[in-house]
Amino acid sequence: MRGKKGPHVKKILITITFFGILGAGVLFIKHVIAAPARATERNLAAINRLTVGNTTEAELLARKEFQTVERKCFQDLCFYQMEAENVFLNRLHLAPVTRTLTVVRVRDGLVTEVLVFTIRAGLPAISLRQVPKMPPGCGSSPCVQRRVLPNKVLVGIGITFSSESGIRNHIPEAVSSECLSRLHGCNTYAELMPITKNLNLEADSR
């Protein structure tokens, strides 16, 4: 009887092991695919509610995300940068390269600028920037500025807003983190940066 049960039990164990490994592999792949979106979500949350010209560097460093970020300086200007990229999906050719970068600049112990860059292969880069005072040529907040080369090629779009704007309290909603973990990625500015939905930027990308 034992001889007859042995092979049967072995087959069951082999089957259980196979599906266990398969299940673990699926979970691992899901984790790797979701990782860039989760990282972007954390990075956006880390810069939410910062106020240029008011938030101190000490207050910035009280946020756990900035306690492990390298502080880089050029003379009296320092910055903290965090980024995420859909490396796994892109290497499998399941989505175009999509990257988000968050940058916080500080000077003399105060936050002087907060930026979010979204870069997607095939589209000019787009940025969201909080400044203490709107630059010349910007009569409203937010203000859209197009960066065009002398040959009239569009290389980037910048959206600038003042530190008094409510946008600074809604950064996670202004930028889509899901685009970094979506099959085939996001193809429009409205998907990449929902805050642009009413700015009609799609014509600029062509």
The mean pLDDT of 173-202, rounded to a whole number, is 89
Nearest alpha-carbon partner for 43 in 5, 6, 80, 87: 80
| Count of Cβ atoms closer than 10 Å to residue 95 Cβ | 23
Query: How large a percentage of the chain has pLDDT more than 90?
Result: 66
Residue 1 has a pLDDT of 44
Poorest-pLDDT segment among 119-123, 148-152, 177-181: 148-152
Q: Give the pLDDT confidence score for residue 154 in this predicted structure.
A: 85
What per-residue confidence (pLDDT) applies to 18? 59
Higher local confidence (pLDDT), 99 or 11: 99
Domains in the chain: boundaries: 2-205
**CB crowding 147-172: b at 16 or more within 10 Å, else e:** eeeeeeeeebbbbbbbbeeebbeebb
Residue count (the chain)? 206
pLDDT digits (tens, 9 = 90+) for 156-177: 999 999 999 999 999 999 999 9
Q: For the whole model, what pTM was predicted? A: 0.83
22 has pLDDT over 80: no
Q: Which of 45-54, 83-92, 130-139 has the lowest mean pLDDT?
A: 130-139
C-beta atoms surrounding 119 within 10 Å: 18
* Percent of the chain with pLDDT strictly greater than 70: 83
Who's near 48: CB < 8 A, 6+ residues apart? Answer: 168, 169, 170, 171, 172
What's the confidence (pLDDT) of residue 61? Answer: 96
pLDDT of residue 185: 94
